[in-house]
Amino acid sequence: MRNETQIIFDQIKAAAKPENIERIRYFFKEPVKLMGLMNPEIKLVVKNNGKLIKSLRHNDALMVIAELMQTGYQETIAVAIGLLDKIHRKYQMSDFEIFENWLNSYISNWANCDDFSHTCIGELIRMYPMLARRTYKWVKSENRWVRRGAPVAFVMLARQGLFLDDVFAISDLLIHDTDEMVIKGYGWALKNAGIVAPQRVFDFISARRNIMPRIAFRYAIEKFSPEMRAAAMKL
């Protein structure tokens, strides 16, 4: 473990409160490796180490982040994601393969999946739009978090009216997926697309009303106007 990684990890351990573990575990259906940090403590560790991670060369910073992720603790991975976001201006197109590997290897719950996908992967796609279609192959992964990551990477982008074609394409590719976390993932992306392009989302769900899981349908229409939501419910 690099010296910088050890410094950050020691701060995480110092902030950990074992009495919080069961309280945190309540929010996860899958097994999670916990230390006992709540979100305010995680954010404080990230804030306190922002200058440190920014001072490193890009590849060295990525090594520190990878080592933090390799510990397997939910909170340590959350800190790693927060620190990665601190250096987003230094992202390189070649980082996609690294991020893809981390998603497949170290992400094992919805919280880390969502933070990593819509914050870090989403920002990388914003910077290098030609990467968007490389997420399409994720829909065939046996790893549920990789499949969920495909649409969630576009959640914040869709909210701004960006990459909507990719949101619809990925949602279409996942339309028959039976994993609840994956279904909610593309439903969330459609919901955000519905903020800026409600008619496009309406047309999408209308054409697929007989095959679209109800939970994704309800997510998709959540931001519709009352009138459009009522019309959707009659489909």
Each residue's pLDDT tens digit, 49-60: 999 999 999 999
The pLDDT > 70 percentage for the chain reads 100
Q: Provide the whole-model pTM.
A: 0.95
Q: Is the pLDDT of residue 1 over 80?
A: no
pLDDT, tens digit (0-9, with 9 covering 90-100), for 178-224 = 999 999 999 999 999 999 999 999 999 999 999 999 999 999 999 99
In this prediction, residue 235 carries a pLDDT of 84
pLDDT, tens digit (0-9, with 9 covering 90-100), for 160-178 = 999 999 999 999 999 999 9
Enumerate residues 6+ apart whose C-beta is below 8 A from 226. none
What are the backbone dihedrals phi and psi of residue 227, each rounded to the nearest 5 degrees, phi first? -70, -45
> Which residue did the predictor score with more confidence, 29 or 144?
144
Interatomic CA distance for residues 153 and 117, integer angstroms: 4
Confidence of residue 134 (pLDDT cuts 50, 70, 90): very high
Interatomic CA distance for residues 203 and 152, integer angstroms: 21
Show the domains of the chain with their CATH numbers: 1-90 (1.25.10.90), 111-235 (1.25.10.90)
pLDDT, tens digit (0-9, with 9 covering 90-100), for 90-130 = 999 999 999 999 999 999 999 999 999 999 999 999 999 99
Compute, in degrees rounded to 10, the torsion defined by CA atoms 165, 170, 176, 178.
-130
CB-count exposure of residue 231 (10 Å: 0-12, 13-18, 19+): middle
- 63 neighbors 2 (Cβ within 8 angstroms): yes
Mean pLDDT taken over the chain: 96
Q: Is the pLDDT of residue 234 over 90?
A: no
Question: How far is C-alpha 106 from the chain's CA centre?
Answer: 13
Q: Is the pLDDT of residue 2 over 90?
A: no
Query: Using a CB cutoff of 8 Å and minimum separation of 24, what contacts does 46-49 make?
Result: 46/79, 46/82, 46/83, 46/86, 48/11, 49/7, 49/8, 49/11, 49/79, 49/83
The pLDDT > 90 percentage for the chain reads 96
What are the backbone dihedrals phi and psi of residue 23, each rounded to the nearest 5 degrees, phi first? -65, -40
Compute, in degrees rounded to 10, the torsion defined by CA atoms 165, 85, 135, 223.
-40
Largest CA distance in the chain: 60
In this prediction, residue 147 carries a pLDDT of 98
